[in-house]
A = this chain, B = another copy of it.
Amino acid sequence: MTATVAADRLACWAVGGVGAVTAGADLAAHLAGPLQAAGGLRPFDVVIVTHKIVSKAEGRLVELGAVEPSPEALRLAGDVGQDPRLVEVILAETRRVVRAVPGLLVTETHQGLVCANAGVDRSNVGGGGLVTLLPEDPDASARRLRQGWLPLAGGGPLGVVVTDTFGRPFRDGGVNVAIGVAGMPAMSDHRGIQDPYGYELRVSTLATADEIAGMGELVMGKVDGRPLAVVRGLSWDDGDRDAQTGAARLQRNPDRDVFRW
């Protein structure tokens, strides 16, 4: 009930020199060299990884040229003004369509994420009609990377956050969010804690991993091939494994979401 991720002072840096990632690559091993070259890891570091290279390594790529759009994809593509083959790929990743208007297709993915185009993306893939899908289980991806990097961090504690950039209602501009988390709480939970005057806090759970993901975006940028960053200075109760629930903890129960339908 009172997991917290906190810091007095944070440092965050981008890790360069990652190079191209190919399908089937052992991503943790591939990134270990760049992480070491950028100063290595210490206990309580958090590594931030953009999902794009995770998806590539996991072979979550589709060649649009090989896609045959279904009648449903053809109809929806007309509604939103997208390539029907792309919409076919999006629908295959989709549990439910949340909004479909010209220029915008928002869906709930099989992973439970609500985002534009089910996270299917053409950019930073390289070549022809290739698109990337989100990792099939981003929390599992984060756990695998963490396992591979634990030796670099003296055995941990070590956090890993896999990110994507999402738009959101009400506010313009995308923000980096956490779609996979391992080794640390995704959320800081202050429920039941009172302010110095005895009042319960109005916002009492904080999506800490989303704030960490956003910090990572500030150093990684969008176009310059830096898909990796390290944050140093955070701490958490690493013995409280119940709090380490993955980024799935950040997904609101659809039944309690007054904006989804």
Contacts from A to B (Cβ < 8 Å): 4-14, 99, 101, 104, 106, 114, 116-117, 121-127, 165-177, 187-188, 190, 193-197, 199-208, 210-212, 214-215, 217-219, 221-223, 225, 234, 249-252, 257-260
Contacts and interface: CB of A to CB of B under 8 A. Distances in A.
A13 B12 CA distance: 12
Nearest to A207: B173
B173 A250 contact: yes
Given A12-B9, A172-B187, A214-B211, A167 B203 contact: yes
Contact of A203 (B10, B165, B215): B165
Contacts of A193: 222-223
Given A10-B13, A215-B215, A210 B173 contact: yes
Contact of A211 (B122, B175, B199, B200): B175
Contacts of A4: 221
A9 B14 contact: yes
B169 A207 contact: no
| Nearest 10 interchain pairs by C-beta | A173-B207, A211-B214, A169-B259, A174-B203, A114-B170, A9-B13, A215-B215, A165-B203, A123-B195, A214-B214
